[in-house]
């Protein structure tokens, strides 16, 4: 008997010009994702809703929210 594992990746291809602003935005996004992964692993969080609430509270305490991060880059 064989077990087949399939990984599905949803993505949208897009083209962008590499400049300092775009590079910084993508680096910040990467850092936010890495923070969330580490945060969840340390606290054994497996629920997306619990992770979102916990991380938001953590960032709010530091004065950082994903929305303010995006707004800083748009300005």
The Cβ-side half-sphere exposure at 55, using a 13 Å CA radius, reads 21
> Does some domain include residue 7?
no
pLDDT of residue 68: 55
CA gap 74, 21 in Å, rounded: 9
> Does some domain include residue 39?
yes
> Does some domain include residue 50?
yes
> Does some domain include residue 6?
no
pTM of the model as a whole: 0.62
Does position 67 have pLDDT exceeding 60, yes or no?
no
> Does some domain include residue 54?
yes
> Does some domain include residue 11?
no
Range(s) of the domain holding residue 55 = 20-74
> Does some domain include residue 12?
no
> Does some domain include residue 56?
yes
- Please state the domain count of the chain: 1
46-63 average pLDDT score: 84
Helix 20-43 × helix 48-62 angle, to 10°: 120
- Express each pLDDT in 29-47 by its tens digit: 888 888 889 999 999 999 9
């Amino acid at each position: 008997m064989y077990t087949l594992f399939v990984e599905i990746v949803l993505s949208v291809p897009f083209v962008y010009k590499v400049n300092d602003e775009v590079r910084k935005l993508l680096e910040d996004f990467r850092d936010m994702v890495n923070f969330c992964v580490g945060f969840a692993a340390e606290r054994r969080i497996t629920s997306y809703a619990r992770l979102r609430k916990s991380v938001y509270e953590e960032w709010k305490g530091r004065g950082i929210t994903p929305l303010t991060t995006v707004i800083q880059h748009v300005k």
